[in-house]
Amino acid sequence: MPQHDFRSPRLFVDAPLAEGRTIALEREQSNYLGNVLRLSAGESVLVFNGREGEWRAAIGGRKRPDNLLIESRTRPQQQLADLAYVFAPLKHARLDYMVQKAVEMGAARLEPVLTRFTQVSRVNGMRMRANVIEAAEQCGILSLAFVADPVPLERYLSGREGQRLLVFCDEAAEVADPLQLLKAQGGGWSGIDVLIGPEGGFAEEERLALLRQPSTLRLALGPRILRADTAGVAALALVQAALGDWRGPPKS
């Protein structure tokens, strides 16, 4: 695992980063640095914008932190693997948790889908993005996962690329060793979509539509029924271990 600086605070800034550039802080960032962390002018933080790597920056300002002077780059930009987390939205805190954990697990896209038994009809995209940023700041991640607008499941399926592997997690599937099933898929996919349904499961017509999709793997996550947020963490961990970037760089 690469050596990261986890002691310095990290901030996402939506601005170009380059040596010598001064970035104005937003009010919430100024309050966080000055009142929560008790940092003052001259102390340093790490910043990233999702495009140009990670940089060390010095805090500027008189009475409170109000800007950052970009000093030097500490890490080059890293791209996330092409892994999409597709899910039926949950309520409030459990959705926050699910988004944060998906980001920590390396998801590059978060795609809410509305199913027949989805209990949440409206999704706060701004809140989801805020959770994406917070998770990236805390975990040393340099790329921000894209947050898609929610769409009905049938519309999502009609627009999928057939060359992507769809890992369809279904509590009604035959219980087998999920890790071995994933490893047996080999490679050659243009990307991977991990689909987690709602707490009430998939309707039968939805299950049939999913099974008609090209490049689909129907997967049970074990002998117990998991809550949707737990199932998401379990599925992403299995996919990353068997097919994703947890395996390390390819051998030459």
Q: Are residues 104 and 23 in the same domain?
A: no
Residue 197 domain flag: yes
Give the tokens for residue 118. 């989805």
For residue 46, what pLDDT band results from cuts at 50, 70 and 90?
very high
Q: Are residues 64 and 103 in the same domain?
A: no
The domain boundary residue, chosen from 75, 104, 132: 75
Residue 252 pLDDT: 39
**Which residue range is the domain that position 53 belongs to?**
10-75
Q: How much is the average pLDDT of 3-15?
A: 87
Q: Are residues 123 and 181 in the same domain?
A: yes
Does residue 188 carry a pLDDT above 90?
A: no
Residue 28 domain flag: yes
Q: Which of 6, 21, 17 is nearest to 47 (CA)?
A: 17
CATH code, 119: 3.40.1280.10
Does residue 1 carry a pLDDT above 50?
A: no
Q: Are residues 152 and 219 in the same domain?
A: yes
Q: What is the pLDDT of residues 106-148, one digit of tens each?
A: 999 999 999 999 888 789 999 999 999 999 999 999 999 999 9
The domain boundary residue, chosen from 49, 75, 101: 75
Buried b (16+ CB within 10 A) or exposed e, 130-139: ebbbebbbee
Q: Are residues 115 and 156 in the same domain?
A: yes
Residue 2 domain flag: no
Residue 251 pLDDT: 47
Residue 245 pLDDT: 87
Q: Are residues 175 and 66 in the same domain?
A: no
Q: Are residues 41 and 104 in the same domain?
A: no
Q: How much is the average pLDDT of 223-238?
A: 92
Q: Based on the structure, what is the number of domains in the chain?
A: 2
Give the tokens for residue 123. 């999704």
Concatenating the DSSP letter of every residue in 7-33 gives SS-EEE-SS---TT-EEEPPHHHHHII
For residue 249, what pLDDT band results from cuts at 50, 70 and 90?
low
Q: Are residues 130 and 231 in the same domain?
A: yes
The domain boundary residue, chosen from 53, 75, 97: 75
For residue 248, what pLDDT band results from cuts at 50, 70 and 90?
low
As a whole number of angstroms, the distance between CA 158 and CA 93 comes to 30
> For residue 61, with 0-12 CB atoms within 10 Å meaning exposed, 13-18 middle and 19 or more buried, which class applies?
middle
CATH code, 71: 2.40.240.20
Does residue 33 carry a pLDDT above 80?
A: yes
Q: How much is the average pLDDT of 183-187?
A: 84
User: Could you tell me which residue, 5 or 208, shows the higher pLDDT?
Assistant: 208
For residue 3, what pLDDT band results from cuts at 50, 70 and 90?
low
Residue 199 pLDDT: 85
Q: Are residues 129 and 37 in the same domain?
A: no
Residue 147 domain flag: yes
Buried b (16+ CB within 10 A) or exposed e, 62-90: eebbbebbbeebebeeeebeebbbbbbbb
Q: Are residues 101 and 70 in the same domain?
A: no
Helix (H, G, I), strand (E, B) or coil at 182: helix
Residue 1 domain flag: no
Residue 59 domain flag: yes
Does residue 192 carry a pLDDT above 50?
A: yes
Q: What is the pLDDT of residues 48-75, one digit of tens each?
A: 999 999 999 999 988 889 999 999 999 9
Residue 181 domain flag: yes
Q: Are residues 98 and 57 in the same domain?
A: no
Q: Are residues 169 and 71 in the same domain?
A: no
